[in-house]
């Protein structure tokens, strides 16, 4: 079974080390991605802190933001040194910050530059070098231009393409609007797979149901989901059993919370704040009795100086109280 059958998207401000530890308690098979980390942050900043992994993270990919081949090559070397399984080039983020740095989605307008980046990264490390991109950018929005982009980048040695099934507008839409307003176009990605059968093609965007996941897998090599997982993380508990035919590792939500407690104790002892961890857990009871009380308790108390693992225990009690009143 290919490595990219199901993955969780890189999400700025979300898919950090704490969030990934939590997700791993729900699925051992899903491929995880870091937040996008810029090459300048790694080269001139604290790379050891930024690249620190949990022992449970793997399979894990580092997503890079940048456009300088030498800098990307140096960061690809770091990815291999720190034990990542993949290094991914961001060619899909449309934020103003990314545009000013001439990377992200704006790179789709320069396929030759992307090819040079991929070649440099592949030369620097033995990891799979992959790309995440859009259907197009601004007025570059025809299927032929998309196919030409994929062709040029694949000629540089990239074999895995993760495609958000929308184009991006670099001006006029916010990053949030760019995730929602441009229409989805799944047929173009299906067509790419038919025309580039040797490539691994992974689809992303607008996928919220397991039935949609399995439908896409009838046509493509993999599916990537992002905010649906963050908002309703229990979805991940189905992945191992349904998509990988392995036993589910998460039995109950309460068991997952119990397994988080030693991690939280250790992190707080090392100076971390509880709220930096629990903010990723608030969707665990989404749609369930007590879910709102669970979220509210965390919002009200996890940021306090005295907050510790017992704060999460107390939040879980709110769920039990709601269950008791619903019997």
Closest residue by Cα to residue 231 from 62, 28, 8 = 8
- Tokens at 280, concatenated: 């990723």
Helices (H), the chain: 17-24, 39-44, 47-50, 69-81, 96-100, 111-124, 143-155, 175-178, 186-195, 210-217, 227-231, 239-244, 253-269, 274-278, 291-301, 309-325
**Contact in structure between 120 and 152 (CB atoms under 8 Å):** no
Q: Give CA torsion, residues 255, 256, 260, 262, to 10 deg.
A: 30
Helices (H), 46-196: 47-50, 69-81, 96-100, 111-124, 143-155, 175-178, 186-195
Closest residue by Cα to residue 157 from 204, 133, 124 = 124
**What radius of gyration do the chain's Cα atoms show?**
20
How far lies 64's CA from each of 1, 70, 78, 128, in Å?
26, 13, 11, 13
**Contact in structure between 175 and 94 (CB atoms under 8 Å):** yes
Catalytic residue set? 93
**Contact in structure between 61 and 90 (CB atoms under 8 Å):** no
* CB half-sphere exposure, 119, CA atoms < 13 A: 10
């Amino acid at each position: 079974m290919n490595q990219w059958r199901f993955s969780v998207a890189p999400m700025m401000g979300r898919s950090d080390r704490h969030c990934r530890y939590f997700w791993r308690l729900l699925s051992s098979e899903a491929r995880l991605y870091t937040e996008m980390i810029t090459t300048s942050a790694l080269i001139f900043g604290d790379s050891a802190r930024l690249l620190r992994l949990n022992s449970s993270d793997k399979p894990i990919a580092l997503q890079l933001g940048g456009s300088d081949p030498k800098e990307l090559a140096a960061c690809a070397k770091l990815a291999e040194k720190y034990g990542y399984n993949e290094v991914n080039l961001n060619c899909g983020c449309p934020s103003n910050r990314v545009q000013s740095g001439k990377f992200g989605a704006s790179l789709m307008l320069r396929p030759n530059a992307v090819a040079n980046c991929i070649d440099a990264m592949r030369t620097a490390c033995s990891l799979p070098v992959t790309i995440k991109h859009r259907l197009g950018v601004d007025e570059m929005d025809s299927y032929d231009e998309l196919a030409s982009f994929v062709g040029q980048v694949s000629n540089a040695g990239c074999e895995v393409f993760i495609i958000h099934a929308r184009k991006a507008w670099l001006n006029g839409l916010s990053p949030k609007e760019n995730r929602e307003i441009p229409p989805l176009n799944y047929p173009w990605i299906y067509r790419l797979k038919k025309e580039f059968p040797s490539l691994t093609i992974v689809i992303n965007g607008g996928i919220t149901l397991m039935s949609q996941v399995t439908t896409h897998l009838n046509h493509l090599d993999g599916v990537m989901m992002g905010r649906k997982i963050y908002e309703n993380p229990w979805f991940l508990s189905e992945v191992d059993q349904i998509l990988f035919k392995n036993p589910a590792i998460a039995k109950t939500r309460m068991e997952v919370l119990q397994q988080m407690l030693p991690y939280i104790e250790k992190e707080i002892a090392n100076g971390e704040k509880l709220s930096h961890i629990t903010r990723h857990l608030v969707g665990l009871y989404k749609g369930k009795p007590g879910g709102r009380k669970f979220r509210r308790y965390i919002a009200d108390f996890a940021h306090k100086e005295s907050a510790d693992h017992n704060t999460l225990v107390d939040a879980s009690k709110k769920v039990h109280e709601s269950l008791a009143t619903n019997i």
